[in-house]
Structure 1
């Protein structure tokens, strides 16, 4: 996997490497504009390798991904597919990532082995762009569940419930979700959760806000009504501005909501 460029010279180097690769190239870039810039530069290559597959694992909006795919196809530079990933730093280190693949079915046998070198699962979601659509739909739900879990835990604790008891009830009932069971926002409920290490590590609040924003853009393009999107985005945006929340795991919204601290 090629590194994210941090400066113009490295951006040029990444473009040069991608231009010369003969079979499969994989990119992971921060924002849509970075993906456009890198692949636009590649189109200047006068002799592109035949049958090259370009796999982009960035989390960007599906429309930008489709635009880049068309640009590369029109320039004869290879097939561009999207494969955003889930699993974070821990998954990348352990090679247990899950990839959501958007690609023609005929390309799956070529793409899947390359991705399985870095992960455990490749979920083919449909045509090019479908991987990103699936990723953003999932992360939109995650963003809402995270806030709702923080509110529910705070509410129950202010009613006098023990946080571990409350989480135990939720996790065998209809409120069960990943933020309640795996990444509970209350310190001590889940020892491996970010809340138990002062919200350090994990999935940064800035990344959650970015993905939520991308989902909102894609929803507007699709004509999908999102009743809770703007409210949730405002929560993450405001929380990120607080010094005691900025740079922390996205479950830190519990702190932003003035969540009750458990008694030792």
Structure 2
């Protein structure tokens, strides 16, 4: 038990073996021509990312998945019947048997706990895969935790670490059109990009380790503010008697155009595919946006950046997250909290 997160014991549970008549896979029998990938974290984003990864990998490659929610792992394996998918019972099993490991986790404590489990004891190279691992963390976390994890992988000489947070939301993860912002030495970029390109459309190298996260936090800071402004603008227009779809169409070809208006519009019915049109279900949760805004403000404080709007926005997201009518919803539910007409 680490960081409040418990993991199961060490036995393997074979979820499915595709295009292969034998009923069990032993990792010691994996062909040298095959590559083995690991994916830890099958949440709203991770599930869809892992699905795209598995569907686009060569047929003979193996994908090992793990999530603390065993139902998510089981569902993934059942949905991907016909592919080489193995369900692991702990992150350590993923790390022991994979060459490249992708993690997509909610918050810093989860990342720390998972990487502690994967890297300790420092004996990965003596296990099933005798080569240094490539760890790619797609989580949005604080700079300090990411640096500590990167240092742990490097100092124990068990592998290399890339921070690669993504942008594009659940719909982008579903469509495989995410943008990944990479923080890593230049020698790791090609290898990391080859993997990430199976889950996204754009891979941007922002600089050395930590640079990907800095770019993501700046982006999500702006997204958090744009979302509130879009909710307010749509609400005022509708209450002035404007048709919501006509208003959104105008904004989306004018200077107010932004992702919360064009793709994730907060008014139900304006964008049929947006969470607001589905009762604000799915999407990017209020708690996650609130977490990202908190991380951005923390980094601003650490680097002496003067921000004025962010702290006010944080108060709004705190209130939305605590509201029973908004809790657990997509962050566009700010529109509902502000009294927008649904």
Q: TM-score, normalised by structure 1?
A: 0.89
Whole-angstrom CA distance in 2 between matches of 1:221 and 1:170: 36
Deviation sequence 1:133-167 (CA, Å, 0-9, x none):
11111111010000001111112222222222322
Deviation at 1:105, TM superposition (A): 0.8
Q: Secondary structure at the match of 1:124?
A: strand
**1:119 lines up with 2:156 in the alignment:** no
Q: TM-score, normalised by structure 2?
A: 0.70
**1:2 lines up with 2:78 in the alignment:** no
Q: Secondary structure at the match of 2:277?
A: helix
Deviation sequence 1:19-57 (CA, Å, 0-9, x none):
443x32222222212222232341422363444321111
Counterpart pick for 1:62 among 126, 143, 148: 143
In structure 2, the partner of 1:46 is 123
Deviation at 1:121, TM superposition (A): 2.1
Deviation sequence 1:64-96 (CA, Å, 0-9, x none):
111211222122122111111223333334333
In structure 2, the partner of 1:217 is 298
- TM-aligned CA distance change 1:12 to 1:220, over 3 Å: farther
Whole-angstrom CA distance in 2 between matches of 1:213 and 1:47: 35
Whole-angstrom CA distance in 2 between matches of 1:121 and 1:216: 26
In structure 2, the partner of 1:239 is 320
Unmatched 5+ stretches in structure 1: none
In structure 1, the partner of 2:266 is 185
The structure 1 segments of at least 4 consecutive aligned residues displaced by more than 4 Å after TM superposition are none
Counterpart pick for 1:26 among 91, 96, 102: 102
- Kept in 2, the 8 Å contact 1:30–1:59? The answer is yes
Q: Secondary structure at the match of 1:137?
A: helix
- TM-aligned CA distance change 1:238 to 1:139, over 3 Å: same
Is the helix fraction higher in 1 or 2?
A: 1
- Kept in 1, the 8 Å contact 2:251–2:261? The answer is yes
Whole-angstrom CA distance in 2 between matches of 1:234 and 1:131: 26
Number of positions where the alignment pairs a residue of Structure 1 with one of Structure 2: 259
- Kept in 2, the 8 Å contact 1:19–1:45? The answer is no
What RMSD over aligned residues (CA atoms) do the two structures have, in Å?
Answer: 2.3
45-54 or 75-84, larger mean C-alpha shift: 45-54
- TM-aligned CA distance change 1:128 to 1:182, over 3 Å: same
1:1-264 correspondence to structure 2 within 5 Å: 1-4=38-41, 5-6=67-68, 13-21=90-98, 23-41=99-117, 42-46=119-123, 48=125, 49-261=130-342
Unmatched 5+ stretches in structure 2: 1-37, 42-66, 70-86
Whole-angstrom CA distance in 1 between matches of 2:214 and 2:197: 21
Whole-angstrom CA distance in 2 between matches of 1:197 and 1:28: 25
Whole-angstrom CA distance in 2 between matches of 1:79 and 1:231: 39
- Kept in 2, the 8 Å contact 1:63–1:218? The answer is no
- Kept in 1, the 8 Å contact 2:267–2:276? The answer is yes
- TM-aligned CA distance change 1:118 to 1:214, over 3 Å: same
Deviation at 1:12, TM superposition (A): 7.3
